[in-house]
A and B are shown apart, each in its own frame.
Chain A
């Protein structure tokens, strides 16, 4: 069980003018899983490299249980990694792969054998000790990689987009497996992803990263329903922003210094008849997506994206409609990049 404190971390790579991480600070509690969500180049993977010791920060500190780890060798930090690919050593079988960390620590072959067996039961793949890594499917490989990472009883588990190369079915299944094992063992975990759904399904808290800074940090529920900043709202899939009194749809979501309100696409109603809190619009696009219909409606010179659960009306391109923004679903967002 480890508490992780990241304090004012700064990192700029040579030959790059912009910093990858800017005054980055975060505390992660014992046994907590924090998801880092952000686009490519937001600094997610760099943060993992700094924690594991592959890279060194320009300034700042990283502490495990209030002790700095910056001067500890990377192989002695107790922070284990799991990547997008399993990176199982191809010249070793499953047992030797999982037992790699224990062997390095000098554990006896009996202990290694018993621990490997325990981990294989934990990941739900008993009896595959003698298989070669090439004989495993993508999902099985990732499970074995998880077992290899956890068998050494690490202080911190770092997951760098471990599920992004897998099929949807395997991916959802592994989300549950990783989450359950992480909770059972109580290992503090950082989970890096660019998949919003995955981050929400797996983490206790989510940190939204943009240009090396945290723009929002909260529970998945709070971030989804009530993101506090404009940047966080955009991150969470909100694309409609309104301002003024009466409310008008903003053309540029951050151009005004007035109060800015946001609304999730699934709360916007598109209907044929007018009513309170509605504005006239013209349908630009209407796409049937199975469980819901997605509309793109031109309202007051800008486009509003709405999403209505089935059964929902289908409108042809160019149809005159009314777009309703129910007040109870509007929430105020701060018109600044961080909150």
Chain B
């Protein structure tokens, strides 16, 4: 009975996840779909071609990917030292440091964005990709630090001592031992940063100021236009990179899960 309920619940969950996607597909590849017909009357590639031929679609897609990738990389570089200390060392005020790192997730993004906008206008970073990247790092960093510090908490420093005693330099050890052993967690942390950056609307709008156009900006603009086919097509484009990235990193995600299971 219990199994029956859990499997039913699982299928309902799948339906909730997949249903919007099916709707997007139906809307994106059709022109006429009226109530009470269960399926569209006419299937077409017209909307898709129209969206792709729009001068803003491909640049915004590329720009968003570039920004999200940069944010992923920079978040990792910035998070690693903090995560190492938080994961491996016990010191007074550790909880306070945790709280400080998590502040960006507590403070409303609008306040952060407005403050950053004023600051970036002064230093000339407003309306630039660099400014948007820096702004995106603020909400991503807590997640990368959290993921990597958990990985460091599971990491046994004796692997590093072993390599050191065998003659390896600290830099060689970091690159060839530590990072290699933490690869699954690094991928997961980068994925978090990528996904958060990829779906950022507010910070991109505030800091980019219309100069930096990413797919969420286009999507919001299309949503206010009210054409369901265009909204659905852009939504499919918006979903595609995260799905692709998750598929490519599935092995690492699985290893990360196994490492956590082994720990408990």
* Chain A positions near chain B (C-beta within 8 angstroms): 52-54, 74-77, 79-81, 83, 85, 87, 89-91, 100-101, 104-105, 148-149, 152, 158
In the bound assembly, the distance between CA atoms of A149 and B167 in angstroms comes to 11
Q: Which of B156, B159, B161, B168 contacts A104 (CB 8 A)?
A: B168
Interface residues on B, range: 10 to 19
One digit per residue, 1 when the CB lies within 8 angstroms of any chain A CB and 0 when it does not, for chain B 153-191 equals 000101101111111111010000100110000000000
The tally of CB-CB contacts under 8 A between chains A and B is 58
Within 8 A of A (CB), among B164-223: 164-170, 172, 177, 180-181
For the complex of A and B, list the 4 residue pairs with the smallest distance between their C-beta atoms, beginning with the closest.
Answer: A101-B166, A81-B165, A104-B167, A87-B162
Closest to B92 in A: A15
Please indicate the chain B residues that have their CB under 8 angstroms from the CB of A148 in the complex. Answer: 166
Taking a contact as CB atoms under 8 Å apart, the answer to whether A105 and B167 are in contact is yes
Taking a contact as CB atoms under 8 Å apart, the answer to whether B165 and A52 are in contact is yes
Shortest distance between the CB of A144 and any CB in chain B (Å)? 12
Given A87-B159, A90-B181, A104:B172 Cβ within 8 A: yes
Taking a contact as CB atoms under 8 Å apart, the answer to whether A87 and B158 are in contact is yes
Please indicate the chain B residues that have their CB under 8 angstroms from the CB of A158 in the complex. Answer: 165
Taking a contact as CB atoms under 8 Å apart, the answer to whether A91 and B164 are in contact is no
Closest to B91 in A: A15
Please indicate the chain A residues that have their CB under 8 angstroms from the CB of B156 in the complex. Answer: 85, 87
In the bound assembly, the distance between CA atoms of A79 and B166 in angstroms comes to 8
Closest to B170 in A: A75
Please indicate the chain B residues that have their CB under 8 angstroms from the CB of A53 in the complex. Answer: 164
Q: Which of A75, A149, A152 contacts B164 (CB 8 A)?
A: A75
Please indicate the chain A residues that have their CB under 8 angstroms from the CB of B164 in the complex. Answer: 52-54, 74-75
Closest to B157 in A: A54
Shortest distance between the CB of A122 and any CB in chain B (Å)? 17
One digit per residue, 1 when the CB lies within 8 angstroms of any chain A CB and 0 when it does not, for chain B 70-88 equals 0000000000000000000
Shortest distance between the CB of B110 and any CB in chain A (Å)? 44
Shortest distance between the CB of B99 and any CB in chain A (Å)? 23
In the bound assembly, the distance between CA atoms of A158 and B158 in angstroms comes to 14
Given A87-B156, A91-B181, A152:B162 Cβ within 8 A: no
Taking a contact as CB atoms under 8 Å apart, the answer to whether B168 and A75 are in contact is yes
Given A52-B164, A75-B164, A89:B159 Cβ within 8 A: yes
Closest to B162 in A: A87
Please indicate the chain A residues that have their CB under 8 angstroms from the CB of B167 in the complex. Answer: 75-76, 101, 104-105, 152
In the bound assembly, the distance between CA atoms of A74 and B169 in angstroms comes to 9
Please indicate the chain B residues that have their CB under 8 angstroms from the CB of A87 in the complex. Answer: 156, 158-159, 162
In the bound assembly, the distance between CA atoms of A152 and B162 in angstroms comes to 13
Closest to A151 in B: B166
Closest to B167 in A: A104
Taking a contact as CB atoms under 8 Å apart, the answer to whether A52 and B163 are in contact is no
Shortest distance between the CB of B254 and any CB in chain A (Å)? 16
Q: Which of A83, A149, A152 contacts B158 (CB 8 A)?
A: A83
In the bound assembly, the distance between CA atoms of A327 and B4 in angstroms comes to 80
